[in-house]
């Protein structure tokens, strides 16, 4: 009897939870930028609690007994990453709601900045948790490698920024400064490059690891090859990077800025991110 | 026959299995199943199982006895097996290794459980409390031995089927179930329900696994698979007792355990393997 215990629901939880991590960290980064990129920062801050909530809904829907979820908060289970995750996500959700509210009200920028500083390590911890959650399973050689966590965090940050870029690109132009869209796009490009490196690192650890790791690698790149190479790598990373570089070079040589390119590239990054989460869960 | 004198299908199946086992014992000349567990408190004990692969004939009696005892759903085998055929004709080998939950000392399923539903019970037995389980399935994902099953649907769907083979002439499975107060026959085990309430039939949305027949141990009986083994290939006892059968066997033979490299310290030991290590890299075929 071959059961697939975790499937699409968990992939969606990781996807939306990851976006929230990326958007929160990006909002905090923008709040420290010397130019006030308030549209981008506000957008990122508002997305965060929404994305956490959507991820949480998928997580709870996946449970066999969702009505008992509260039990997690009545126990102390220090060895369980899921227990840590439940607490971290609850704290992160509360901070993200408060942070988003402060951006919507647009008052007390110093207090908002302080809250961002407190929330950033929590957001990072939630990201680490999502990667760590997979890494701790010794029974799953696809996940049980050192680079799993760092690859996951980079993926979360990339998709989070991509969603901000997508929204900025489709918002009415009078509401968004061109400079903040360009800045966000460039940061997304840098995140894609870092993610490509971490992905190579993760694949290498599988390829050069134990026989079980190698078997997991083969399953990922062969059985789920189309989704992994086509969806996650080509559509989600390589194509957006190439498109972005072409656009930047064109602008450098006098071409006009196209709003369509960041919209398309960020959409591709999001599709690729979802493909990667799905394939990583299903191929294990 | 009066109603209280009726023989249930469970009892009949149990008697059949016992007869088959008894017959096999007589044919093979093996002694009856081993060491009894004292009925007093299980505290201070550390139960383990030794499986003698040269005694095991692969009859599957253990799996049958487990199903009868524990009411496991279709396709779910707490007592399971690994089989492997290798070589080229005429030099072909077939191996049969019985498997079950390893009740690991460092159990990954217990470590990851966020509510302590999967826990270490008396005598180091890894047990599951379905009342506080949220159904996150992390235990099943964490188990390297594929020994944990998840009931995505309510088990025993067959016994809720209202269709009959011949309309108006034969009973539907649902009618049979209703006549026995909703107990899913033929496996419903009232003894199990009495000793460990609510565990005779596991519900939808929670995992289930072998617990060394904890309900039987509490009554001073052996696990059903041990009791049913016609060749005495399964030896069960207390690792903390140096004079127990398991301790003596582990001292006499060099045992192996499944996937030892993962550091889970399983408490199911295999001795006298024909080809030790052949299953080291096996995954997903349990």
Q: Name chain B contacts of A213, Cβ cutoff 8 Å.
A: none
In which band, very low, low, confident or very high, does the pLDDT at B44 lie, cut at 50, 70 and 90?
confident
Contact A72 B77 (CB under 8 A): no
CB-neighbour burial class of residue B75 (10 A; exposed 0-12, middle 13-18, buried 19+): exposed
Q: Please check whether residue A78 touches B, CB under 8 A.
A: no
pLDDT score of A171: 85
In which band, very low, low, confident or very high, does the pLDDT at B71 lie, cut at 50, 70 and 90?
confident
Q: Name chain B contacts of A75, Cβ cutoff 8 Å.
A: 114-116
pLDDT score of A264: 95
Suggest the residue from A69, A74, A80 to mutate for an interface test with chain B (most B CBs closer than 10 A).
Answer: A80
B88 φ, ψ (degrees, to nearest 5): -125, 140
SS3 B155: coil
Residue range A196-205: mean pLDDT, rounded:
94
Q: For residue A54, is pLDDT > 80?
A: yes
pLDDT in tens, B168-200: 888 888 888 888 776 666 667 777 777 667 677
Neighbours of A267 (CB within 10 A): 18
Contact B114 A80 (CB under 8 A): yes
**Percent of chain B residues topping a pLDDT of 90:** 45
Question: What is the ipTM, given to two decimal places?
Answer: 0.87
Q: Does a cis peptide bond (omega within 30 degrees of 0) precede residue A186?
A: no
Nearest CA in chain A to B76: A1
Q: Which of A5, A66, A211 sits opposite B137 (nearest CB)?
A: A5
pLDDT score of B40: 55
CA distance A64 to chain B (A): 4
Q: For residue B20, is pLDDT > 80?
A: no
Nearest CA in chain A to B143: A139
Give the A window 44-73 contacts with B, CB below 8 Å.
Answer: 62-66, 68-69, 71-72
Distances (CA, A) of B169 to A40, B163, B164, B177: 73, 11, 8, 17
Q: Which of A63, A75, A82 sits opposite B112 (nearest CB)?
A: A82
pLDDT in tens, B138-164: 999 999 999 999 988 888 777 788 888
Q: Please check whether residue A110 touches B, CB under 8 A.
A: no
**CA separation for the pair B156, B163 (Å, rounded):** 15
**CA separation for the pair B240, B246 (Å, rounded):** 10
A167-171, A180-184, B28-32, B144-148: which is most confident: B144-148
Q: Where are the alpha helices (DSSP H) in A106-171?
A: 109-135, 147-170
Q: Which of A3, A136, A284 sits opposite B112 (nearest CB)?
A: A136
Tell me if the pTM is above 0.95: no
Mean per-residue pLDDT of chain A: 91
In which band, very low, low, confident or very high, does the pLDDT at A33 lie, cut at 50, 70 and 90?
confident
Mark out chain B residues that contact chain A at CB-CB < 8 A: 75-77, 108, 110-116, 132-138, 140-144, 149-152, 204-206, 262-264, 281, 283-284
CA distance B10 to chain A (A): 24
């Amino acid at each position: 009897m071959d059961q697939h215990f975790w499937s699409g629901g968990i992939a969606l939880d990781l996807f939306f939870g990851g976006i929230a991590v990326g958007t929160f960290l990006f909002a905090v980064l923008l709040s420290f930028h010397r130019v006030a990129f308030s549209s981008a920062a506000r957008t990122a801050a508002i997305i965060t609690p929404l994305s956490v909530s959507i991820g949480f809904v998928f997580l709870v829907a996946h449970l066999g007994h969702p009505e008992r979820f509260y039990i997690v908060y009545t126990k102390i289970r220090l060895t369980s990453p899921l227990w840590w995750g439940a607490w971290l996500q609850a704290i992160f959700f509360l901070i993200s709601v408060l942070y988003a509210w402060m951006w919507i009200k647009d008052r007390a920028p110093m207090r908002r900045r302080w809250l961002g500083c407190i929330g950033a390590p929590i957001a990072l911890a939630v990201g680490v948790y999502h990667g760590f959650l997979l890494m701790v399973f010794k029974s799953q050689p696809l996940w049980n490698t050192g680079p799993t966590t760092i690859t996951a965090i980079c993926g979360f940050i990339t998709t989070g920024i991509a969603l901000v870029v997508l929204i900025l690109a489709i918002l009415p132009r009078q509401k968004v400064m061109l400079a903040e869209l360009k800045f966000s796009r460039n940061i997304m490009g840098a995140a894609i490059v870092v993610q490509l490196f971490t992905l190579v690192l993760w694949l290498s650890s599988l390829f050069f690891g134990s026989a079980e790791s190698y078997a997991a690698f083969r399953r990922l790149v062969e059985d789920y090859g189309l989704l992994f190479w086509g969806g996650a790598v080509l559509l989600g990373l390589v194509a957006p990077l190439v498109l972005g570089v072409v656009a930047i070079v064109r602008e450098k040589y006098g071409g006009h800025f196209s709003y369509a390119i960041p919209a398309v590239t960020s959409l591709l990054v999001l599709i690729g991110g979802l493909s990667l989460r799905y394939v990583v869960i299903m191929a294990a | 026959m009066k109603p209280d004198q009726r023989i249930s299908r469970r009892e009949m199946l149990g008697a059949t299995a016992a007869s088959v086992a008894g017959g096999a014992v007589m044919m093979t000349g093996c002694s009856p199943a081993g060491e009894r567990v004292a009925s007093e408190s299980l505290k201070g004990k550390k139960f383990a199982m030794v499986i003698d692969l040269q005694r095991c004939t692969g009859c599957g009696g253990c799996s049958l006895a487990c199903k009868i005892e524990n009411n496991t759903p279709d396709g779910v085998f707490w007592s399971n097996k690994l089989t492997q055929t290798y070589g080229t004709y005429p030099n072909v080998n077939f191996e049969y290794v019985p498997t079950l939950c390893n009740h690991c000392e460092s159990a990954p399923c217990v470590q990851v459980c966020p509510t302590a539903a999967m826990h270490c019970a008396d005598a180091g037995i890894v047990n599951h409390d379905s009342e506080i389980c949220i159904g996150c399935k992390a235990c099943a994902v964490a188990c390297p031995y594929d020994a944990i099953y998840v009931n995505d649907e309510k088990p025993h769907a067959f016994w809720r089927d209202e269709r009959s083979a011949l309309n108006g002439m034969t009973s539907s499975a649902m009618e049979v179930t209703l006549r026995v107060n909703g107990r899913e026959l033929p496996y419903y085990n009232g003894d199990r329900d009495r000793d460990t309430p609510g565990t005779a039939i596991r519900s939808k949305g929670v995992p289930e696994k072998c617990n060394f027949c904890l309900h039987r141990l509490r009554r001073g009986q052996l696990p059903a698979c041990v009791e049913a083994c016609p060749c005495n290939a399964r030896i069960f006892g207390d690792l903390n007792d140096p004079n127990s059968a398991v301790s003596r066997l582990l001292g006499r033979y060099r045992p192996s355990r499944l996937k030892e490299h993962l550091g889970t310290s399983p408490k199911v030991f295999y001795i006298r393997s024909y080809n030790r290590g052949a299953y080291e890299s096996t995954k997903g075929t349990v």
